[in-house]
Amino acid sequence: MGHGKSMPELLVIANGKLQRGSAGKRWAGIASSLQDVFGGSVEICFTSAAGDATLMTRKALLAGAGWLAAAGGDGTNYEVVNGFFERRTNLRPESLLSFLPCGSGNDWARTLGLPVKPAQLVKVLAESMVRSVDIGHVCFQDSAGAETERVFLNVAEAGVGAKMVGHLQTLSSSVLTRGGYLWHTLTAALSYRPHRLEITCEDHAPYHTEPLLSTIIANGQYFGAGMRCAPMARPDDGQLEVITIGEFSKFELMVKFRRLIRGTYLSEARVTHRSVQSLCVQSDEEVFLELDGELVGRLPARFSILSRALKIRC
């Protein structure tokens, strides 16, 4: 977006990692298809550091951008959507957001049913329809202990998932395969010490839980590179799906892990599910929080749904 340059029809905010490595192979196909379909009416801007996508999105929206696309994985989507929102307010509610999934997990794209092949993905983008989706809003403690507000598109999680995300951030490897994600999730679950939480749903009385492996607050259906954690979730129904997973033995986890992947685990006795519009989750112990696959801080956290607060084109 050069100085004095007119705004393109479609501005793509792309993760800088797509310029190299194995992720670049998929991106090369998408970029070629973008040029074939949109020609000079598309502009691609690459990030160079964490947080860039939020800043670039905010700058573009304030300059009048009407259609943006996030190119990368769920982390890129998370940064871009946080560029749209200041606290609970969409800064430019008429602007549209699309998604070009080429990251490791692409869980939000699974809920939307986006195609896998690059040429088909761009064709769908060009012929896409506008719809409004819900956005999750959360207040929590960041790593320095300060209260922070963020929004999320897909899934928030407190517990073993956040532990796994924190572990993955320490690895030097670039893009994990889906099998790698599942393996790291299982090994994290086998070593995680469950924590008791206090959960308050909407205006009901708070209740204390048994020790939990995971508390999932879902707007989308998938997390962890294709695990169908919330098969009932619909991103435009004005609800957050709250799922708690209790303590399982190591043997039970290994036997039942496939049920979590497939989304058939909700009938387990130590699994609960509620549909809510707001909730508060806290603990006397240190429990970490991740949003859309990004480790952001810890409990306590207050969640709410922003009903149909974002227009997407997909």
pLDDT (tens digit per residue) in 147-189: 999 999 999 999 998 887 776 666 544 556 666 666 666 677 6
Domain presence at residue 117: yes
Query: Contact, 230 vs 264, CB < 8 A?
Result: no
Same domain, 114 and 226: no
Q: Which pLDDT tens digit goes with each residue over 43-80?
A: 999 999 999 999 999 999 999 999 999 999 999 999 99
Nearest by Cα to 188 from 242, 232, 227: 227
Q: Verify that 158 and 285 share a domain, yes or no.
A: yes
The three-point CA angle 188-189-191 to 5° equals 70
Residue 42 pLDDT > 50? yes
Backbone angles phi, psi at 193, to 5 degrees: -95, 115
Domain final position from 128, 146, 176? 128
The answer to whether residues 109 and 153 belong to one domain is no
Residue where one domain finishes, among candidates 128, 163, 195: 128
- Does 303 reside within a domain? yes
For 117-148, the pLDDT digits (tens) are 888 999 999 999 999 999 999 999 998 999 99
**111 touches 221 (CB < 8 A):** yes
Assess whether 191 and 216 both reside in one domain.
yes
Rg (CA), the chain: 19
- pTM for the whole structure: 0.91
Residues 145 and 43 in one domain: no
- On whether both 44 and 172 belong to a single domain, the answer is no
Q: Is there a single domain that holds both residue 88 and residue 190?
A: no
User: Does 152 share its domain with 245?
Assistant: yes
User: What is the CA 46 to chain-centroid distance, rounded?
Assistant: 20
- Shared domain check, 260 and 140: yes
CB within 8 Å of 50: residues ≥ 6 apart:
79
Classify residue 314: in a domain, yes or no.
Answer: no
Helical ranges in the chain per DSSP H = 23-38, 52-62, 74-84, 107-112, 118-126, 160-168, 178-191, 250-262
Determine the pLDDT at residue 191: 73
Domain that holds residue 221: 135-307
Strand partners, 10: 42
Domain boundary among 78, 104, 128: 128
Q: Is 5 a member of any domain? A: no
